[in-house]
């Protein structure tokens, strides 16, 4: 069975990607060397659902289901800003920038996507949707003191609001893992409320 690694996400505008790159460089200068594997800024996106290994024969059905979601989902605007860590700053594994969308439209879109992919074998996330943009992942080999320092730097760094994004579409994206980092190809883009 042929499969691809896929996910569903909202692409981000270039000016915001440049801001995220600046934030990454600012953090990188303050934390222990080689303790975080940074995501290439050009590849940062707002993930709505990670599918993982996806059989090629399921793609047409998934795309049809996503078109149905997009037709009934209104566009929204979200704000990007403020740093955080998963699971928390004391034991950081992921460094992220937060996403705020107070109308609830973004959460409703994510919930609808979760629901329509269940028939294709993708279970809903066990935890609630926490919209964020991943900046980097703490290296497994990072010492406890390095990890603690990363958390301290994240808490102490104020980035304020980095931008607003008008989310008018989302995409089904293929991810190919390479030694130089993941490479992304947009397979389909779905305009909201069309």
Residues identified as active-site: 45, 132
CA angle 12, 13, 19 (to 5 degrees): 95
CA angle 42, 93, 151 (to 5 degrees): 95
Q: How far apart are CA 110 and CA 113, in angstroms?
A: 5
Q: How far apart are CA 102 and CA 35, in angstroms?
A: 34
Tally DSSP H helices, then E strands, for the chain.
4, 9
């Amino acid at each position: 069975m042929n499969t691809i690694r896929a996910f569903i996400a909202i692409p981000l505008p270039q000016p915001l990607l440049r801001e995220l790159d600046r934030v990454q460089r600012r953090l990188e200068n303050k934390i222990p060397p080689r303790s975080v594997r940074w995501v290439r800024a050009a590849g940062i996106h707002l993930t709505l659902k990670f599918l993982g290994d996806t059989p090629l024969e399921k793609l047409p059905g998934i795309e049809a289901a996503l078109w149905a979601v997009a037709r009934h989902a209104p566009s929204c605007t979200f704000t990007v800003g403020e740093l955080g860590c998963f699971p928390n700053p004391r034991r950081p594994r992921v460094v992220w920038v937060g996403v705020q969308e107070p109308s609830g439209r973004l959460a409703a879109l994510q919930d609808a996507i979760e629901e329509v992919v269940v028939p294709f074998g993708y279970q809903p996330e066990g935890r609630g949707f926490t919209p964020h943009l991943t900046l980097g992942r703490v290296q497994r080999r990072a010492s406890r003191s390095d990890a603690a320092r990363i958390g301290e730097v994240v808490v102490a760094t104020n980035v304020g609001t980095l931008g607003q994004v008008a989310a008018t579409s989302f995409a089904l994206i293929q991810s190919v893992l390479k030694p130089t980092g993941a490479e992304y190809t947009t397979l389909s883009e779905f305009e909201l409320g069309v």
